[in-house]
Amino acid sequence: MKIYRSIACLLFLIVGMNALAQQPKPLYQSETLQIEQLSPNTFVHISYLSTDDFGKVACNGMIVINGGEALVFDTPADGAASKELIAWLETDQKVSVKGVVATHFHDDCVGGLDAFHAQDIPSYGSKKTNSLAKAEGNLVPENGFKKELTLEVGGVDVITRFFGEGHTRDNVVAYVPDDQVLFGGCLIKEVGATVGYLGDANTAAWSGTVRQIKSTFPDIRTVIPGHGKIGDTELLDYTVKLFSEK
């Protein structure tokens, strides 16, 4: 029995060490911004939003870099962190920022738009997002699209599409087919998360919207939620289950 226990402990240790080794290491880190690489072309940026209901909240966004160009999905939470991100992209990565896309109208997606506009970087949001942001008094993307937008960054396509309501009436997701990475934004929950803020949500539609995403992009390998830990399609399944029970 002692031998079996020793072998089991050793296997557990090896698995644990491998899991730690696979965790992305920050390429950049400050008190207000963190950047990690997830795949050859895809990165996550993490910034922090102060909220009344949930305190200081870490917010995820996506960056796609290829061929000397970059696209940003959701701004960091404020102008200062957005300037920091742009400076890192232009100075450290030596790339041109081709655009920024907001996945819905809340501040954790559009709060830093002024920093991008000040650098003449084009911004995009769905027409629903732009209308809702304006009505809310939030910063508004300059360009609108109806349901789907495909942007190219150095030869890599990124598909942004509206699949239905959930966290908000306008939430879209972005998919990088070459890397099989989905940025789900606040529509997708990390495993173990609670339902979070529901003030603009359609909980009845939420699960169906996520099911459509999974069936449309069957090759997804990596999923970035709006907040919390990155994972795989387990995050989609967890989100479906979470809101199926509502």
Q: Any idea how long the chain is?
A: 246
pTM (predicted TM-score): 0.89
Q: Selecting from 3.30.2320.20, 3.60.15.10, 3.60.70.12, 3.30.930.10, what CATH number does the domain 28-244 have?
A: 3.60.15.10
Q: Angle of helix 203-216 relative to helix 234-244, nearest 10 degrees?
A: 150
Model pLDDT, residue 49:
85
Q: What is the pLDDT of residues 167-180, one digit of tens each?
A: 999 999 999 999 99
Predicted local confidence at residue 110, as pLDDT? 98
- Say if strands 181-185 and 222-225 run parallel, antiparallel, or are unpaired: parallel
Domain ranges of the chain: 28-244
CA distance 35 to 27: 6
DSSP characters for 137-153? T----SEEESSEEEEEE
Tens-digit pLDDT profile for residues 177-216: 999 999 999 999 999 999 999 999 999 999 999 999 999 9
